[in-house]
Amino acid sequence: MIQRDAVEYRLIFPSYQPFLFIYLENFHCKRPTRGSLHLFNSSPQSRYRYSCRNWKTRSLATCVSQSDSHFAVYMSDTVPKTYVDLASQLADVAGSILRRHFRKTNRFLVKSDQSPVTVADREVERTLRALLKQSCPQHDILGEEEGSEILTSLHLETCSEYTWVIDPIDGTKAFMTGKPTFGTLIALLERGIPVLGVIDQPIIGERWLGARGYGTFYNGTPISSTIQNEASTQDKLGHCVLYATSPDMFHNEMLDAFKRLSKRVQYTLYGCDCYAYALLANGFVDLVAEADLKPWDYLALVPVIENAGRFITDWNGNSLTLSSYSGCVLAARTKTLHQQALEVLNMQVSSDFSHREKTCVQSMTGFSRAQSFGKYSLVTVDLRSQNARFLDICGTLPPMLEILESKIHNLLKGFLSRGKIHYSVSISASEDSLPISLMENSVKDVKLILERIAQILKVETPIDLSHVLQFRDLLIRSKENLIQKNSEEELWPYIEEAFHKAIYALKEVQRQEGERLVADMETRIELLRGWLDEIDQYAPTRIVQQKRRMKQRIEDCLEGNHAIDESRLDQELALLADRIDITEETVRFRSHLNFFTESLKMSSQVGRRLNFICQEWLREANTITAKCADSYISMRAILIKEEVERIREQVQNIL
């Protein structure tokens, strides 16, 4: 947040509390051409000064570095024209070298990271480095061939205001095999933020240049005036073309995520390197998703794509800067496609389920519904779950999808382990995507009617197509043959997605129901503990009562003629006390209560275990009733059994 207070600007960063103020000197005019920033932190001895040119007071921006004690500030809205011209000159020089080497030899060396490098790579980088050191000696340079040596020390707080990033040949494999889909990438960073980028294809003679404050140009012409900003009116993944350099660049979780995205799009193509991003800037490509990229592979792409009105981030939706170390890049033609692709890439159903299953008790009852948009249709999946001893799956499918029944069962078995599961799948037409049909009979009828009208009116004007098309309903969106346009193989990715969403929603419903069941059972367990406490408090008084009662009966039988043998009476009382002692039963009952409570926190799939514990509770309560020989304890034991039965009914619904 920025608040103006005379010549003082206060910048409030919640996560960077040590920084207090930034003072702007020479702020007495509306459009100062130079300003000085004084950055203060909590240490009075630490003070950093940055000079900024070409800035506007309304466009203060910040870039926080990795260090907790430094951050950089830039204020320029437009890249200096001299740097834009310099970038074009660098691309011209690189192009002349590459054209001289292209298809002349296929010899190459292998670097330490097993990537190839050619003589042309090294010659281009050496030449461009020499030109930059001559033109901009104060700027830093980061290149692919020498970048690894300085990348570790090139941080935002230590680097100069501007850094040039060079990739002499992005797509070396394409270059050395004679395929003109490679490109030279040149980027200019301001405080680690890419503000200027060039994608140059010297063989075909195509160049894309994007710069902050200028826009993106294709061969010198603004892209917005030559290419339609929207290549398609429908922003759906099912209609998209996805590009990636190679499927080998994805590993482990990234490979799974890319496969999910690939299943959702219409076509997946490989092998264009940076050229795919250039085509995306023009609007011919919808999506590009790649991984295992280095800074010189993607920094030049950012200004070209963003200034063309497209979108590019990492797979988490974060902006790409010099400090981006994930190596995963996602570029999209529109914001809608970008958001949809991010959701698919970050869909982690199984791991999320696994985490929840380890921490939450789930009910076996629940209902959910989910939808997925296919190319021509809308897929709707309903899931209903009821309690059962084992996993029992059944469902209803449209006739043309019955071949997918085994796939669906296997999918459900991967996430559900118990209960009676009923599913239903329905395919409905998506009105905007329905195929257009021609009413041929109506067209013929219209022609005959027009000819008849001409005869009646004695008009000799010939009937042409424009007359016929004035009649409505000759072209309709037909639902006929819709299923034939979607084979089961084409529909399966959308059905699978809908099932994943439905399973996730069902698990969430079961988790919420499980929380309510646990709360109810914990309340009832406290009742059981209270009745056990009452039994434990009352139990010791029974021996005294039994001795008094037994002594009274003996005296009544002897009628005062004989004295009572106290030692014999105590012996009998000891035997009686052993028979009516319920200490063992109450201790075991409390142990089962503790085990029941612990089981609720250990795992979600504890239904069977809890049911067995309830059986043990009933066994102990029956034993207490049989041994107590006391009405008070018998009443408490009956209340315990009644409450245990209520808990047992709830346990029948727990997974």
Query: Inter-axis angle of helices 583-602 and 607-628, to 10 degrees?
Result: 170
Average pLDDT on 401-417 reads 86
The alpha carbon dihedral of 568, 574, 575, 577 has a sign of positive
Q: What is the pLDDT of residues 322-360, one digit of tens each?
A: 877 678 999 999 999 999 999 888 875 444 444 444 447
What's the fold here for domain 226-345? D-Maltodextrin-Binding Protein; domain 2 (3.40.190)
3-state secondary structure of 373: strand
Q: Which of 201-215, 470-484, 509-523 has the lowest mean pLDDT?
A: 470-484
Confidence of residue 253 (pLDDT cuts 50, 70, 90): confident
pLDDT value, residue 230? 45
Q: Which of 51-55, 74-78, 166-170, 606-610 has the lowest mean pLDDT?
A: 51-55
d(CA 275, CA 650): 61
H or E segment to which residue 378 belongs: strand 377-386
Tell me if domain 81-224 and domain 226-345 are identical in fold: no
Please tell me whether 580 is known to bind a ligand.
no
Q: Is the pLDDT of residue 181 over 60?
A: yes
Average pLDDT on 541-564 reads 68
pLDDT value, residue 276? 94
What is the residue type of 653?
Answer: N
pLDDT value, residue 226? 42
Average pLDDT on 474-500 reads 69
Q: What is the pLDDT of residues 55-67, one digit of tens each?
A: 333 333 333 333 3
Please tell me whether 97 is known to bind a ligand.
no
pLDDT value, residue 26? 34
Average pLDDT on 410-432 reads 82
Average pLDDT on 256-277 reads 89
pLDDT value, residue 74? 40
Higher pLDDT, 471 or 20: 471
Percent of the chain with pLDDT over 70: 71
3-state secondary structure of 47: strand
SS3 annotation, 145-169: CCHHHHHHHCCCCCCCCEEEEEEEE
d(CA 521, CA 306): 56
pLDDT value, residue 299? 93
First to last CA, the chain: 50
**Residues contacting residue 152 through CB under 8 Å, at least 6 positions apart:** none
Confidence of residue 431 (pLDDT cuts 50, 70, 90): low
Answer yes or no: are the C-beta atoms of 608 and 561 closer than 8 Å: no
d(CA 432, CA 435): 9
Whole-number average pLDDT of the chain: 76
DSSP conformation class of 295: H
Cα distances (angstroms) measured from residue 26 to each of 23, 36, 51, 74, 417? 10, 8, 12, 17, 71
H or E segment to which residue 135 belongs: helix 119-135
Answer yes or no: are the C-beta atoms of 216 and 281 closer than 8 Å: yes
Q: Which of 263-272, 420-429, 540-549, 639-648 has the lowest mean pLDDT?
A: 540-549
Look up the pTM and report it: 0.48
3-state secondary structure of 262: helix
Confidence of residue 472 (pLDDT cuts 50, 70, 90): low
Q: What are phi and psi of 107, to 5 degrees?
A: -75, 140
Q: Is the pLDDT of residue 194 over 50?
A: yes
327 Rama sector, left if φ>0, alpha if ψ -120 to 50, beta otherwise: left
Q: Which of 42-56, 231-245, 411-425, 511-525 has the lowest mean pLDDT?
A: 42-56
d(CA 532, CA 589): 8
pLDDT value, residue 633? 84
DSSP conformation class of 463: P
Average pLDDT on 80-98 reads 93
Domain range summary for the chain, segments of one domain joined by + = 2-74, 81-224, 226-345, 436-477, 512-651
Q: Which of 61-75, 101-115, 302-316 has the lowest mean pLDDT?
A: 61-75
pLDDT value, residue 444? 81
> Do you know the residue count of the chain?
655
What's the fold here for domain 81-224? Fructose-1,6-Bisphosphatase; Chain A, domain 1 (3.30.540)
Range among 110-119, 330-339, 390-399, 560-569 with highest mean pLDDT value: 330-339
Answer yes or no: are the C-beta atoms of 320 and 298 closer than 8 Å: yes
Average pLDDT on 399-405 reads 84
pLDDT value, residue 36? 34
Confidence of residue 563 (pLDDT cuts 50, 70, 90): low
pLDDT value, residue 278? 94
Name which of 314, 315, 321 is nearest 72 in CA terms.
Answer: 321
What is the residue type of 247?
Answer: P
Report the DSSP pairing between strands 377-386 and 419-429. antiparallel
Confidence of residue 440 (pLDDT cuts 50, 70, 90): confident
Please tell me whether 535 is known to bind a ligand.
no
d(CA 206, CA 281): 13
SS3 annotation, 426-456: EEEECHHHCCEEECHHHHHHHHHHHHHHHHH
Confidence of residue 450 (pLDDT cuts 50, 70, 90): confident
pLDDT value, residue 159? 52
Q: Which of 212-221, 279-288, 462-471 has the lowest mean pLDDT?
A: 462-471
d(CA 45, CA 546): 87
pLDDT value, residue 30? 32
Please tell me whether 169 is known to bind a ligand.
yes
Q: Is the pLDDT of residue 383 over 90?
A: yes
Q: Which two tokens stand for residue 80?
A: 């200096």
Please tell me whether 167 is known to bind a ligand.
yes
What is the residue type of 43?
Answer: S
Q: What are phi and psi of 367, to 5 degrees?
A: -145, 145
pLDDT value, residue 429? 65
Q: Is the pLDDT of residue 316 over 90?
A: no
